Amino acid sequence: MDILANTLPAVRATQAIPGGREAWSALLGSAFRTPRQLARWLELPGGWVKESLADVPEFPLFAPQPFVARMERGNPHDPLLRQVWPAREERQPVEGFVADPLREDAVQRAPGILQKYAGRALLITTGACGIHCRYCFRRHWEYDRSPTTLSEWRAAVDGIARDDSITEVILSGGDPLTWPDVKLKELVGWLDAVPHLRRLRIHSRMPIVIPQRMTPGLFEALETARLERVLVVHANHVRELDGDVESASAAARRHGWTLLNQAVLLAGVNDSLESLRALSERLLAVGVLPYYLHQVDRVAGAAHFYLPPERGVELTRQLRNHLPGYLVPRFVCEQPGAPAKTVLA
């Protein structure tokens, strides 16, 4: 399995755009790709860099400029930096942390389509992302099994069209918003024409990490005549939600999208009442409701982010005592074979 290959589509996506490059695609192209480059930019202490860095990361660093701009210079413990920094701990095998903790291999109903839950089909549209999150549970996923060309995706949509138990399609990945507008427009058009589909959901971190992606052209490409539209973004820390994210989210709302957030509970990033509370309050201010707080999966290389589930249960209880109910995300984990995500608190 070649994990390095996962980063290539990000570059290819930027080249697939005909004519002039759009800002978001240039931002993908100019993302930080080496720890030393990022360390220099952030003026991180040299001793710390040397000590903390993994020698040869199997999952390369990838951090776009708009996200890096929200990091604090000179602070090696910045919660945004921690999410992208290839730390030495990643290389130490930890018992119980494996490549495919969710055994997603077992739930592929067709190439690139996962179905775990009733009524919802999830499309792994691409392996490319706007950022590489070190804790990602799909960091070891073999994306090259997903369709790539539109004609292969057409066959996948035909499969969905033959199964009227499916009422919602989730575009996931990787990050579906790394696809160019023309390709998204085609796919969404096909989905719009499947009569038993009622909802289109997109899981994307692009509105957070490269909010410049949320262009009028994108909203036009995603226009559907009748599907309910839900955009689930992914922010873990209050500082990820800057003014550009706020504008992007306002634009999405104007175009009829319901906005939800999923976060992952991460040691050293957001594992305190104050941090989670600030995140929820800021999410509402930018027009997004907290949806899920995920227990970090036991994926190889992510053990340094791990917190026991009891910690998340306790933090969620505390949040509930401080915030209105609609600002308290459900703390969930995934159990292979379960009919829904398991709500822990």
Ligand X SMILES: *Cc1c(COP(=O)(O)O)cnc(C)c1O
Interface contacts to ligand X, rule CB under 6 A: 114, 116-117, 120, 122, 170, 341
- Between CA 289 and CA 233 the distance in angstroms is 10
Cα→Cα distances 282→177, 245, 286, 316, Å: 23, 11, 6, 17
120 binds, among ligand X, ligand SF4, none (CB under 5 to 8 A by kind): ligand X
Residue 53 Cα to chain centre, angstroms: 24
Rank residues 122 and 208 by Cβ distance to ligand X and give the closer one. 122
- Interface with ligand SF4 includes 136 (CB under 6 A)? yes
By beta-carbon proximity to ligand SF4, the closer residue of 131 and 156 is 131
* 306: Cβ contacts below 8 Å, ≥ 6 apart: 97, 267, 296, 298
Give the one entry of ligand SF4, ligand X, none that residue 131 binds, where binding means its C-beta sits below a cut-off of 5 to 8 angstroms depending on kind: ligand SF4
Please, which residue, 114 or 160, has the CB nearer to ligand X? Answer: 114
* Sequence-ordered list of residues with C-beta below 8 angstroms from that of 265, at least 6 positions apart, any chain: 271, 293, 294, 295, 296, 307, 311, 312, 315, 331
Q: Shortest approach of ligand X to residue 114 CB, angstroms? A: 4
| Order of all β-strands in the sheet with 113-117 | 108-110, 113-117, 120-124, 168-172, 199-203, 228-233, 258-265, 289-295, 330-333, 342-343
Interface with ligand SF4, residue 260, by CB under 6 A: no
Can you tell me which of 39, 61, 87, 129 binds ligand SF4, judged by CB under 6 A?
129
122 contact, one of ligand SF4, ligand X, none, CB 5-8 Å limit per kind: ligand X
Candidates 8-16, 43-51, 94-102, 130-138; binding stretch for ligand SF4 (CB under 6 A):
130-138
Cα angle vertex 315, ends 340, 118, to 5°?
10
DSSP code for 32: B
Residue 181 contacts which entry, ligand X, ligand SF4, none (Cβ below 5-8 A, type-dependent): none
Residue 294 makes contact with ligand SF4 by CB under 6 A:
no
**Chosen residue from 86, 174, 180, 329 binding ligand SF4 by CB under 6 A:** 174
Residue 116 or 132: the one with the smaller Cβ distance to ligand X is 116
226: exposed, middle or buried (Cβ count in 10 Å: 0-12, 13-18, 19+): exposed
Among ligand SF4, ligand X, none, partner that 166 touches (CB below 5 to 8 angstroms by kind): none
Q: Is residue 112 a contact point for ligand SF4 (CB under 6 A)? A: no
State whether residue 241 is helix, strand or coil: coil
Q: Binding to ligand SF4 by residue 175, rule CB under 6 A?
A: yes
**Helical residues (DSSP H) of 255-306, grouped into ranges:** 273-285
- The token pair at 194 is 């499947």
* Cβ at position 196, least distance to ligand X in Å: 17
Range list of H helices, the chain: 8-15, 23-29, 35-42, 46-52, 65-68, 79-84, 150-161, 181-192, 206-209, 216-221, 243-254, 273-285, 309-320
Cβ closer to ligand SF4: 174 or 287? 174
116 binds, among ligand SF4, ligand X, none (CB under 5 to 8 A by kind): ligand X
Q: How many residues bind ligand SF4 (CB under 6 A)?
A: 11
Q: Which residue do the tokens 């398991």 mark?
A: 342
In angstroms, give the least distance from the CB of 293 to ligand X: 13
User: For ligand SF4, what does the binding mask look like between residues 191 and 210, x meaning CB under 6 A?
Assistant: --------------x-----
| CA distance linking residue 323 with residue 32, whole number of Å | 37
The reply on whether position 131 binds ligand SF4 by CB under 6 A is: yes
Q: Which residues bind ligand SF4 (CB under 6 A)?
A: 129, 131-133, 136, 138, 173-175, 205, 234
